[in-house]
Amino acid sequence: MGFSNTERQQRFREKLTKELTEKLATLEAGLKSDAYLIEARQELAEARQEIERLRRDNRRLTAELKGWFIKLGEEIDRLRRRDFDLCERIDLLKARKGIISIAAFKKIRSCLHPDRVQDDDLKKRFEEAFNIFSELEMYAVDPKQIADKGSATHQASHTV
């Protein structure tokens, strides 16, 4: 015997409900995956923007660093040249013998001493000349003569 019409309709409704439920679940899963894809695409776009920003920053920083390295190299070259010049000057100072004796230097310097004049204007000029000439001693006199005469008493005697 077969099923009654009511039973067949009931079975058809159950079968249709089951199929629709499965399709609905598939559609919901698809919508969820579509939403996930949309979200993933947005995150990917944001990540690409961040990568591009980082690349721009990297190029800018690389250019800045290159500039700093160039400046650093120039400064190193300048300091090397200065070191070379200073070494040459030291060698020249060590090799020099002086252009006058210490006695002659002291005689000329004593003539410039400000106590030799009475006029206040001349006193100032003589004091300035005396100090300038005293500063030239290290260039005009042989350093060995300066050391032999005793640098402590020498230093005290030529400052006004």
Q: Which of 95, 112, 146 is the last residue of a domain?
A: 95
Ramachandran class of 98: left when φ > 0, alpha when ψ lies in -120 to 50, beta otherwise: left
Hey, CA dihedral for 108, 126, 147, 87, is it positive or negative?
negative
63, 133: one domain: no
12, 52: one domain: yes
The pLDDT of residue 152 is 41
14, 91: one domain: yes
Domain tally for the chain?
2
pLDDT tens, position by position, for the chain (160 residues)?
Answer: 577 878 888 888 888 888 888 888 887 777 777 777 788 888 888 888 998 999 999 999 999 999 999 999 999 999 999 999 999 988 877 777 778 888 999 999 999 999 999 998 999 999 999 999 999 888 888 877 777 765 444 455 555 4
Q: In 3D, which of 109, 104, 94, 107 has the Cα closest to residue 143?
A: 94
102, 87: one domain: no
The structure's pTM equals: 0.37
134, 80: one domain: no
- Give, rounded to a whole angstrom, the gap between the first and last alpha carbons of the chain: 142
For 75-109, the DSSP string reads: HHHHHHHHHHHHHHHHHHHHH---SB-HHHHHHHH
89, 103: one domain: no
The pLDDT of residue 149 is 66
Instruction: For residue 99, give the amino acid letter.
Output: I
Cα→Cα distances 128→19, 76, 108, 113, 122, Å: 114, 39, 14, 9, 10
Token pair for residue 101?
A: 């004796």
Domain residue limits at 146: 98-160
Token pair for residue 142?
A: 């042989």
Cα→Cα distances 76→19, 41, 53, 70, Å: 82, 51, 34, 10
The pLDDT of residue 159 is 53
In this structure, are residues 159 and 134 in contact, taking their beta carbons and an 8 Å threshold? yes
4, 70: one domain: yes
